[in-house]
Amino acid sequence: MTKADIVNEISKNTGIEKVTVQKTVEAFMETVKDSLSKDKNVYLRGFGSFIVKKRAKKTARNISRNTTIIIPEHFIPAFKPAKTFVSKVKTNVK
């Protein structure tokens, strides 16, 4: 499902114009990105959490050049679904 599909579905279910729904969805996504970039997690009860995870510094190998490289410590965004979300997906996916 794409962002356009989500906008169409919300517009159909609520009766709100697609342009308004699209602005709302984009504002939501921008708010989540801004919050995570400021190291603030976003918690949506019953849906899940958008969190920032810390990856430790590690040594990796470049196989083609046969060299080692150091990957510095860094942060990545992650999503952790709520228990109700997980149980609904588990019971409905075939």
CA dist 82 and 94 (Å) reads 20
DSSP letter at 67 equals E
- At 27-58, the pLDDT tens digits run 999 999 999 999 999 999 999 999 999 999 99
Predicted pLDDT of residue 42: 97
Burial class (CB in 10 A: 0-12, 13-18, 19+), 7: buried
Q: What is the mean pLDDT of residues 51-71?
A: 93
| Mean confidence (pLDDT) of the chain | 94
Whether 86 has a pLDDT exceeding 80, the answer reads yes
Per-domain residue ranges for the chain?
A: 1-40, 51-94
Looking at residue 94, its pLDDT comes to 64
pLDDT at 93 over 80: no
